[in-house]
Structure 1
Amino acid sequence: MDKTCIIYGSSTGTCQAIAEKIAGKLGVGQADVYDVANITADTVGAYRNLLLGTSTWGAGELQDDWYDGLEKLKGADLSGKTIALFGCGDCESYGDTFCAAMAEIYDGLKDSGAKFVGQVSTDGYTYDDSAAVIDGKFVGLALDDVNEDDKTDGRIDAWVEEIKSFL
């Protein structure tokens, strides 16, 4: 596996806990797990694979720290890198914007020269709408660790197995 980092934005700790769980399953060390508020273009440049995670807030918005983080990523050379996205959302209270913040990151970086992997089928999910669904799949791993916490570990395991071959 090429050098991989996990970058997350978390306001309540849920997305951070998910990032750490994914790191453990992939064997990514704690030194390679970053809060997006603390990254630089140099940080990103040291890695071949970027796993980017965000929670979704309000009407499908990014977690606050991701606004500056996304600008830093846009300023970095991402050509030839592999990106996998994961997101936390609330399918019951915000079913019309479920995990939509992943789409903000995807849209911001899709023309960067990076290769996106880890799209997830919408089968088995309960939600009304999501900007993060393109061609019938989420652009990354969508999780609701509040309302569907019983599905979180299985979804993470399946996603990690799928993306391993690209990392």
Structure 2
Amino acid sequence: MPIGIFFGTDTGRTRLIAKQIAKKLGDAAAAPVNIGRTTLDDFLAYDCWILGSPTLGDGELPGQSVGLSQPSWEEFLPQLDGVDLRGRTAAIFGLGDQKKYPDEFVDAIGLLHDALLARGVRIVGRWPVAGYEFNQSKAQDGEHFLGLALDQHHQPVLTEARLDAWLAQIRAEMAAPVSA
């Protein structure tokens, strides 16, 4: 079964990265889907996901409460309440601006991570914080982010290499057996 790719977006940058990921993975991934335009059943049709989100406002997930005209992660995640997601695996990527929002840089990665981990999902794809300049992030755990951090405002030239390295990493991690 292919990997499901789901994303939230505001400006379209996260959608573009999701499309890049799908192209790089080829037949191993399904076509990317905006999380605000999917159903719970379509989401649950996959055992492995790559999930993407920008961080908005004061470190929030995209959704209607932060001014988006359409539903996004904020509206989708509550649908997972009570759903047992054990045995599923996710990797998370997030877009942020480390200079304009150094205190909320890629917080969405941390928010998605925590929401999925609480529901039993195995999370893969930790990424080093080296090479970024920010003050704090809900996505940071020691010397790593809980997913791939991308800054399309200030480090776009690094995106391609970061994507390639991260995708190689998560493919191996997703294929590894789940430890008991």
TM-score normalised by structure 2 residue count: 0.86
* Among candidates 95, 98, 105, match of residue 91 of structure 1: 98
| Alignment length (residue pairs) | 166
In 2: Cα distance, 1:40 partner to 1:76 partner: 14
**Could you tell me the TM-score, scaled by structure 1's length?**
0.92
1:29, distance to aligned residue in structure 2 (A): 7.6
Aligned to 1:84, the other structure's residue is in SS state strand
Identity of aligned residues (%): 37
Residue type matched to 1:127 in 2?
F
2:41 counterpart residue number: 42
Q: What does residue 162 of structure 1 align with?
A: 169
Distance in 1 of aligned mates of 2:32 and 2:143: 30
Quick check: 1:20 aligned with 2:22?
no
Q: Which moved more, 1:71-80 or 1:25-34?
A: 25-34
Work out which structure has the larger RCO, using CA pairs closer than 8 Å and 6 or more positions apart in sequence.
Answer: 1
Match of 2:157 in 1: 150
5+ long unaligned stretches in structure 2: 64-71, 176-180
Cα offsets for 1:19-44 (capped at 9, x unmatched): 11011111158853110001222112
Deviations 1:47-103 (A, max 9, x none): 110111000011111111110121223454321011100000001100111000111
Runs of 4+ in 1 over 2 A off after TM superposition: 28-32, 72-77
Q: Structure 1: which 5+ runs fail to align? A: none
Max Rg structure: 2
Higher strand share: 1
SS in 2 for 1:32: coil
